[in-house]
Amino acid sequence: MSRRKAPGITGKAPAAMTERSKPGYPATLGVLLAGGLARRMGGGDKPLKTVGGRTILDRVVERLAPQCDGLIVNANGDPDRFGFLGFPVVADDVPGFAGPLAGILAALDWTAAHRPDIAWVLSVATDAPFLPRDLVSRLHIARQEAGVPLACAQSGEQTHPVIGLWRVDLRADLRHALVVEDMRKIDRWTARHGVAAALWPLVPYDPFFNANTPEDLAEADAIALRHHDA
């Protein structure tokens, strides 16, 4: 199934970045959350750190592009640093550093304005180099089976609220929670609506391993080497 290129994309992106290869679930836009402060990494953009000779961002895009109907980046500051991707870069519009919920809200608002044909947004952290290649399909299955509007990833006993599916028509409620209630914890908001977890095993490695420190980057390098680039 071929879908049109999202408005606002500059340059020519490879076909895999704008066309989902295995349809079978609702059209879903992917947002790469790159707005973190990276304090434990010493500052800078974590997505541009390398694992196995490739940036984490490159790994995330390579895994998600075939699963999504377009990708956007959520990042604050100078958007040109991600311009090489050819994807729209969307900043938070909630005052202050409001955390990942603000980035998710920005993505929901952008989707409603620019891709009204899409009702679902997948959010992912851009410090996770080994994301599953069946992430979107399994999250949709989880929320459909549970009869709830939201889903997140889980590996072992650990849930990953930032890596999840969000329904675009819930954006007004999310904005109220952020702006009026000053809510910052993802779990508090998702509990209002119902969230299902899709479970992945921790072996041979955690697919949601995230690199927050230089030591984590070294461990990610070792995982990529042991598992032939994972």
Q: Give the annotated binding-site residues for Mg(2+).
A: 127
Locus of tokens 């999504």: 68
Residues making up the annotated binding site are: 33-35, 46, 74, 92, 127
CA distances from 95 to 73, 76, 91 (A): 19, 12, 11
Q: Are 230 and 223 in contact (CB under 8 A)?
A: yes
Longest dimension (CA), the chain: 48
Closest CA to 127 of 8, 44, 28, 20: 44
Q: At what angle do helices 56-64 and 135-146 cross, to 10 degrees?
A: 60
**Residue type at 195?**
V
Report phi then psi at 142, rounded to 5: -60, -45
Residues of each annotated binding site for GTP: 33-35, 46, 74, 92, 127
Q: Which of 4, 164, 175, 6 is nearest to 89 (CA)?
A: 6
CB 109 within 8 A of CB 166: no
Q: Which strand (E) or helix (H) includes residue 161? A: strand 158-167
